[in-house]
Amino acid sequence: MRVHSEADLKVLVAWMYYDEGLTHEKIARRLSLSRVAVTRLLQRARREGIVQIQITRPLPVQFQLERELEAAFGLKRAIVVPTYPEHGATLDALGRAGAPRPGSR
């Protein structure tokens, strides 16, 4: 197998993951690397600007409000639920948001 420089590996792994849609596992097998090495190369590629991710829509208002509440009051987690014209629907949304999630215990 051809030996690649780390700089080449970052670009190659980024292309394989983002452009070709390969999993970390498949990339690792193709390049004789560990999955952890692939993950670290992708992280470095993003940190160094080799990969730039652009989200073209704003964060939904509900999630933006949650972030602002968490930052303002030092909360671990804030949950904002939408209100509905029907009072019962709003109560249902509130109940679902407050219910424990699987694996959260």
Residue with tokens 């829509």: 57
DSSP per-residue letters across 61-81: HHHHHHHHHHHHHT-S-----
pLDDT tens sequence across 33-53: 999 999 999 999 999 999 999
Q: What is the distance of C-alpha 13 from the center of its chain?
A: 18
Q: What percent of the chain has pLDDT over 90?
A: 84
Q: How far apart are CA 33 and CA 22, in angstroms?
A: 14
pLDDT band at 55 (very low <50, low <70, confident <90, very high): very high
Domains and CATH numbers, the chain: 6-47 (1.10.10), 61-98 (no CATH)
- Give the separation between CA 50 and CA 13, rounded to whole angstroms: 11
Q: For residue range 68-83, list pLDDT tens digits in order.
A: 999 999 999 999 998 9
Mean of pLDDT over the chain: 92
